[in-house]
Structure 1
Amino acid sequence: MIRYFFLLLLPLFLYANLTYDSNYEKELRVLTSFDIDPSFLYDPVLNNMKQKTLSKDKHFFKAMEDAYLFIPAIKNALSKYDVPQEFLYLAMAESNFRTKAYSSKRAAGLWQFMPNTAKHYHLHIDEYTDERRDPIKSTEAAAKYLSSLHDRFGKWYLAAIAYNCGGGRLSRAIKEAGTDDIAILLDEDKKYIPQESRNYIRKIVAFSLIGSDERYLLRSEYEYLLNRANAYSLATIKLSGGESLQRISKLIGIPLKDLKKLNRHLKYDFVPPYSSNYDVYIPYIKLSEFKQKYSVEPVKNIYKIHVVTKGDNLSYIGKKYGVSYKVIKDFNNLKTTKLSLKQKLIIPIPKKSSKQKVDSKHYYIVKKGDSLESISKAHKISIQNIRSQNNLEGSLIRIGDRLKLYE
């Protein structure tokens, strides 16, 4: 009887063993992708970090779910530059996959680029766009940056650490330690690299180990994520200057808020007026519908037309419609701020709207006598925060400027 019972259980034991081995092989592949020795699997800080993440797994998988449209696009961009797929989790560590993420140090986007680094990798930042928040362009920039760090240091885990603390800081640490061995660089007593960086590489590896653990996913409520990330993706469409996101959202039947979420690099709900062929992202499943329905329309057929009357100036008109005077100037290709009676101006707000209401909870239109200090005090928000949200280098602001607050 006992022998018969054992024979019944044998397949279960074999299956459990195969599952364990299979998962162990996946863990080894994760470490190999970072050029890390297998012994790192037994790092106590790493395992503690992994367990803490699993104990709050809803947070981890909620981030994965929110980014399901971005993930295939990110993986494709990483592959394009031969960066291991596991570096997907570097973006998770940096921003939790939030394209609108920004820091007090003025880093922004999925990969938390600083303005100078972003410009070095040709990410455009101006009145209309911040391409650090572009999921595709920022990922390609990050991949190029990581590749250059890998070329410099020779190992992917060193590239990840350098991404966090800087190449110069890591070079000094390696010189001081006399080795680039991860176990020595992460020594908690010697502190060759900052605490943040010691935790940073462990966090990325921990996320990667969890994300590759199909066994865990299969026995959890998140099983659907195993295939979902491969079933959805982004499509890039090219739009001309001034094209309205609201018109596109109605055309393809996607809520404007969802379309804006995919295009956080656009500071307004329209394509920059200076562009003739600008990248905008829609769900891939909507691409066929877009191609069937879309046709170019002159911007005057999309937006409201304002006829200049006595006493009008760009600042006044901007306040009236909640649009920066600079935007009105750019949209109408004005060389000066001088206006003439009965001149027709395109105002980039929906045609049906007689006046654009600006939500003062999120935006502020600069008035005469305003300064960053006065706005900071009035709205109880730091000057640095205002600067970081609006990409301001100094303290110069102009009447009619639209400042983003509390995003």
Structure 2
Amino acid sequence: MKYLFMLFFPLFLYANLTYDTNYNKEVSLLSSFDIEPSFLYDPIMNKMKDETIKKHKHFFSAMNKAYLFIPAIKSTLSKYNVPREFLYLAMAESNFQTKAYSNKRAAGLWQFMPRTAKLYHLKVDEYVDERRDLIKSTEAAAKYLSALHKRFGKWYLAAIAYNCGGGALNKAIRRAGTDNLEVLLNEKKKYIPKESRNYIRKIVALALIGSDEKYMMNNEYEYLLNRANAYSIATVKLAPGESLRRLSHLIHMPLKDLKKLNRQLKYDFVPPYAKSYDIYIPYIKLAEFKQKYFKAPMQNIYKIYRVKNGDNLGHIGKKFGVSYKVIKDFNHLSSNRLHIRQKLVIPISKRSYRKKLRKNRYYYMVRRGDSLESIAKKHKISIKNLRAQNNIHGSLIRVGDRLKLYE
């Protein structure tokens, strides 16, 4: 017995130390949200955690796709004194999809509504939707969370308010007579909406999984632990109207990968109105960018079109699948008047514009003031046909929607 005890004692000791280490890490993680250690035993949170672990491929797929910009998100949160664990709030909101868009008109990593985006100076216009800008939106989210923390005093309250709103949370705290998390999450009293009760649990569950090094290693995803620290992004400034396609050629980076880092752009070029505009590239491409990037004349990048008799901006825009406003902005036109043989810059790649023409011939981009009736009348098709092709059940369409016009 003595021999067996001596043989297995190190194993028992190691298991105990491992348990203590993991427990301490989990308690530390909860404290970053100002949550008591007892929350580790919340049955609903643990059920969410177990379900996520069962579907681990989905979890790690999201982490893997976001590995390039996760360090930038963590760094930005720290810059505004927001716990890095709030990274998992973004995962809960959008699954780290910068192009995520909800039926409530929320967009981007942090799912900002238009009103909140405007409040935190995120630009949404013809050319950009900065709710999808991974750095600017994270800065806005960090400022918003900091304001909520200042208002409510605890980080878990800031997270809940992010979901249900400060007013609803205030009302819940008054009804409950406390801001204690266990009380607010009472399933019978329902002080806060079910979505918000599950929201904070989901964030904590995701954070516990993402910070469990042993779990990551056991599932052969340990490379993510180092990968997130080894890779990052750099911010570079491009000239107004610059083409992403041209940049991808200059720094030898696939265009699709460059687009993934810059979902804030609605077109394949930066806004023509800015003196310069921030674009994100992998940090390992920064030296190559500094060495090779130079501002080129517009006529060397895009197609040049000569105005013909009977042309107008709307007709030219439709021909090339580009908004008339974009053509107007690129050519610094103060009015819609054109003259014959006038040269216009059309922001579309010289080599690919024919392909784009074919692609856009049967589609229409909804503009401000449009309705199903006006679009149907303009393109001489029935409203019924328009609804059927685009799976529209009512009359609601939004600016920026891409509608199919013909079968």
TM-score (ref. length: structure 1): 0.92
Does structure 1 retain, via aligned residues, the 8 Å contact 2:303–2:348? yes
Q: Percent identity?
A: 68
Paired with 1:157 and 1:360, the residues of 2 have a C-alpha distance of 47
Alignment correspondent of 2:230: 231
Paired with 2:395 and 2:99, the residues of 1 have a C-alpha distance of 17
Alignment correspondent of 1:379: 390
Alignment correspondent of 1:395: none
Secondary structure in 2 aligned to 1:135?
A: coil
Shift of 1:384: 8.0
Shift of 1:320: 1.2
Alignment correspondent of 2:240: 241
Closer, same or farther in 2 for the Cα pair 1:384/1:299, shift >3 Å?
farther
Paired with 2:206 and 2:302, the residues of 1 have a C-alpha distance of 46
Does structure 1 retain, via aligned residues, the 8 Å contact 2:235–2:279? yes
Corresponding position: 1:369 with 2:380? no
CA RMSD of aligned residues (A): 2.1
Letter in structure 2 aligned against 1:8: L
Shift of 1:351: 1.9
Paired with 1:5 and 1:360, the residues of 2 have a C-alpha distance of 76
Shift of 1:360: 5.3
Relative contact order: is structure 1 or structure 2 higher (C-alpha 8 Å, sep ≥ 6)? 1
Closer, same or farther in 2 for the Cα pair 1:206/1:343, shift >3 Å?
same
Paired with 2:215 and 2:95, the residues of 1 have a C-alpha distance of 21
Alignment correspondent of 2:15: 16
Letter in structure 2 aligned against 1:210: I
Paired with 2:317 and 2:113, the residues of 1 have a C-alpha distance of 30
Corresponding position: 1:404 with 2:407? no
Paired with 2:202 and 2:361, the residues of 1 have a C-alpha distance of 35
Alignment correspondent of 1:357: 357
Equivalence map 1:257-406=2 (5 Å): 257-355=256-354, 356-357=356-357, 359=359, 363-365=363-365, 369-370=377-378, 374=383, 375-381=386-392, 386-387=397-398, 390=400, 403-404=401-402
Closer, same or farther in 2 for the Cα pair 1:87/1:363, shift >3 Å?
farther
Alignment correspondent of 1:174: 173
The answer for unaligned runs of 5 or more in structure 2 is 367-374
Equivalence map 1:20-39=2 (5 Å): 20-39=19-38
Does structure 2 retain, via aligned residues, the 8 Å contact 1:104–1:384? no
Secondary structure in 1 aligned to 2:377?
A: coil
Closer, same or farther in 2 for the Cα pair 1:120/1:105, shift >3 Å?
same
Deviations 1:299-325 (A, max 9, x none): 121000001111111111111111111
Letter in structure 2 aligned against 1:83: V
The answer for unaligned runs of 5 or more in structure 1 is 391-402
Q: How many residues align?
A: 392
TM-score (ref. length: structure 2): 0.92
Paired with 2:31 and 2:353, the residues of 1 have a C-alpha distance of 60
Shift of 1:337: 1.1
Shift of 1:368: 7.5
Secondary structure in 2 aligned to 1:359?
A: helix
Does structure 2 retain, via aligned residues, the 8 Å contact 1:242–1:272? yes
Shift of 1:345: 0.2
